[in-house]
Amino acid sequence: MYNTILYVVVIMAVIYGAFFYITYQRRRKLLNVMEHLDMDEEARQAPSYKDRLLETEYAFVKKQLGDQPADAFTYANTQYTGKDQAKDIAKDTLKGLATLGTVKFRTVQTPKYLVLSGGALHLMDTDTDGDITKHIVFEPFRLQQARIEEKPLSGMARAQAKFGKFDLKLYKLYLPTEDGEVVMDIYNMLLFNFASSGGNALTMSPHKQVENIVVANHFLYVLGQKYPHLRVPTAIPFKA
C-alpha cells in the first residue's frame, strides 16, 4: 500500500514537473520572439491577422454581422467581482438544494466579443456551447458618450504582465445605454478572462500569441481612430 502511494506521488510530481518545464520553455521562447519582433511589420500585418481569424476560429462572429464589415474585434469581459462570485455560489447552492443534491449547478462566465463595424460597436454574448445568444449594437451617438480607462492588473495577470517589448494592459470600457452603463473589461491581447484563459495563453505558440496581441491592439487603435476620446496607447505602432 505504501509503495503504491509513493509510486502515485512520484508519477504526479513528474507530470507536474514536465508541465511547468514545458510552460517555462514556451514562455522563454515567447519572450525571445517578442524581444526581436519587428513591430512595424506586425502593424502592417494586423488586417491580415484579423481577417484570417474571422474566417477560421471566429467565423461565427463574422457570420453574425451579415454583410456588415468587421473593421476590428476583440474579446470582452463583464465585470465579475468577488461579490458577484459569492452571489453565483449562493444561487447555485440553492438550486442544488432544490434538487436535493441530485444536480450540481455551477454558473459559468462565457466569452463576449466587441466588433467595430463602420461607426457602430457590436457586443456579442455567447452561451456555454459558444453560440451567440445576444447581439447589442451601440450606435455612434452612444459611443460619443462612452469612456475608457486603464485598470490595474491583479493576481496572475500582474505576475505575467511582461512579454519582452509587450506589457499586458487591462481597460474598462463604459458603454451608455438607456438603463445606465454597460461596463466591459478588455485586454490588449485576445483574452476572455486571464483567470480562466491566461494559462492557455502561456501554452500557445509564440506566433499565435503575437497574432492575438496584434489583433487586440488593432481593435484599440481603430476604436481610438473612430472616437478620439476613447484613444489609449497601443503596444503596436499602427499608422493612419
Residue-wise pLDDT tens digits, 40-82? 899 999 999 999 999 999 999 999 999 999 999 999 987 654 4
pLDDT at 27: 63
Summarised one tens digit per residue, pLDDT across range 101-115 is: 543 434 346 789 999
pLDDT tens for the chain, 240 residues long, are: 556 666 656 676 666 565 455 555 666 666 666 677 788 899 999 999 999 999 999 999 999 999 999 999 999 987 654 454 455 445 445 544 455 554 343 434 678 999 999 999 999 998 767 788 899 999 999 999 999 999 988 766 666 666 666 788 999 999 999 988 999 999 999 987 655 444 455 556 788 888 999 999 999 999 999 999 999 999 899 887
Report the C-alpha gap between 185 and 174 in whole angstroms. 9
CB 235, CB 162: distance < 8 Å: no
Give strand pairing partners of 74.
Answer: 114
pLDDT at 95: 47
Which residues, 6+ apart, have CB-to-CB distance to 187 below 8 Å?
Answer: 74, 75, 168, 169, 170, 171, 194, 216
- DSSP-derived letter for residue 28 is H
Report the C-alpha gap between 214 and 50 in whole angstroms. 9
Give strand pairing partners of 120.
Answer: 117
103 burial level (CB within 10 Å; 0-12, 13-18, 19+): exposed
pTM, rounded to two decimals: 0.77
Report the C-alpha gap between 84 and 88 in whole angstroms. 6
pLDDT at 203: 56
Quickly tell me which residue has 453574425 as its cell: 64
Q: Which amino acid does the sequence have at 219?
A: F
